Amino acid sequence: MPTKAPGSHTLSALVALFASQVLSKYVWQVLPSLGEASQTALTAVNSLPTISVPHGTEAAGAMLVIVTVTVVWEAAHLVRTRT
């Protein structure tokens, strides 16, 4: 799908990146259980021998925001292009 709509996917990545930096600290204040789940997932990924990702509280919040924004953006793009 990125070959058909590279602009949309690029914009999605940029929005997710900037939104994650702005909203990551609020994840722990508003949704602490999701922040903990994200941190647990990052710790599990970090336990793999060839992968090293930061897994602190801010990184976990940022990762949660990135995944959420990207999934919503791609779902909206899919719905828009299918109709």
Residue 46 sits in which domain range? 6-82
Q: Phi/psi of residue 8, each to 5°? A: -65, -40
DSSP reduced 3-state for 5: coil
- Give the total number of structural domains in the chain: 1
17 in any annotated domain: yes
75 in any annotated domain: yes
Residue 15's nearest CA partner among 77, 58, 57 is 77
CA–CA distance, 76 with 60 (Å, rounded to integer): 24
Please answer whether residues 24 and 62 qualify as being in contact, where contact means their C-beta atoms are separated by less than 8 angstroms: yes
1 in any annotated domain: no
68 in any annotated domain: yes
pTM over 0.85: no
pLDDT at 1: 46
73 in any annotated domain: yes
Per-residue pLDDT of the chain (83 residues; tens, 9 = 90+): 455 667 777 777 778 877 777 777 777 777 777 778 888 888 888 888 887 777 677 777 777 788 888 888 888 878 887 76
